[in-house]
Amino acid sequence: MWESRTLPRLKLEARQKRRAFLFLGFIVELLILFGRGGGGKERMISVLKAFELALTKPEQREWARLNSPRKIQDFLDGILYSHESRYRCPLRVLQERMAHCFDGALFSAAAMRRLGHPPLIVNLLANDQDDDHMLALYRRDGHWGAVAKSNFSGLRFREPVYRTLRELVMSYFEEFYNVDRKKTLRSYTVPLNLKAFDKLNWMASDGALERIGGRLDEIRKVHPLTRRMIAGLSLVDERSYQAGLLGANRASLYQPSRKRDRKA
């Protein structure tokens, strides 16, 4: 009896929430469109303002608290890790409190944009035995740092102490391994500035996200390892392996026999 009365109500609430989300996305797109006549700075401000207007009061308070890269990372660490293959835009991440690495990188880029950083992301590419991973980048005093959502404890935050992007990326190398304890990081993309996707409303609409993923596949890749280096790689020791998986959702870990997707 409870199910017969409650299930239709839950379905109605889900439909109402979806309609509300689509309406908010439409409003954001209109605000971006009307703000597109000015220069680059004016467009950036209009995109951020449009995003913030789509937030509820509690969401606005949560968003306002993300006033440093460390606090953005803390937010990501505090939400659920998504095992789903679908993407979530930053607005949906804030509303649903769930993300995988792609979603987390875009959310972090959006949040750091509010702090004055360009919305930069970089994709870390694995071999065919693991998933990729994605970072949101920021710089302080000419040095690179990163924020990331991950199922692995060692693939998240980096302080801005790395002189080059290569230094930053390679700081993830030893922690980038699969369930067979093999080190799998092989290359990375040049940074992608998400400002190029403002016209697609990437901060508040899921519709732009496949385009972003496609662009990451197209841009230049850097291959820091030689074949000889790869041939000589050792397995991750058991203690490091277990430390990296502390608190992980092991059911969602990539299995080499499964179809490849974005990394934890």
Q: Residue 12: inside a domain, yes or no?
A: no
pLDDT reported for residue 4: 42
Q: Residue 264: inside a domain, yes or no?
A: no
Per-residue pLDDT tens over the stretch 148-202: 999 999 999 999 999 999 999 999 999 999 999 999 999 999 999 999 999 999 9
Q: How many Å apart are CA 185 and CA 170, to the nearest integer?
A: 9
- CB–CB of 40/198 below 8 Å? no
Q: Residue 205: inside a domain, yes or no?
A: yes
Mean pLDDT, to the nearest integer, of 19-30?
53
pLDDT reported for residue 27: 54
pLDDT reported for residue 47: 83
Q: Residue 161: inside a domain, yes or no?
A: yes
What is the phi-psi region of residue 140: left when phi exceeds 0, alpha when psi lies from -120 to 50, beta otherwise? beta
**pLDDT-derived band at 75, boundaries 50, 70, 90:** very high
pLDDT reported for residue 12: 43
Structural domain of 105 = 61-252
pLDDT reported for residue 11: 46
Q: Residue 132: inside a domain, yes or no?
A: yes
Q: Residue 123: inside a domain, yes or no?
A: yes
Q: Residue 105: inside a domain, yes or no?
A: yes
- CB–CB of 134/124 below 8 Å? yes
**Which CATH number covers residue 169?**
3.10.620
- Helical packing angle, 40-53 and 101-114, nearest 10°: 110
**pLDDT-derived band at 28, boundaries 50, 70, 90:** low
Q: Residue 228: inside a domain, yes or no?
A: yes
pLDDT reported for residue 88: 96
Q: Which residue has the higher pLDDT, 256 or 143?
A: 143
- How many folded domains does the chain comprise? 1
Q: How many Å apart are CA 151 and CA 246, to the nearest integer?
A: 9
* Of the listed ranges 41-45, 103-107, 117-121, 193-197, the one predicted with least confidence: 41-45
**pLDDT-derived band at 61, boundaries 50, 70, 90:** very high
Mean pLDDT, to the nearest integer, of 107-120?
97
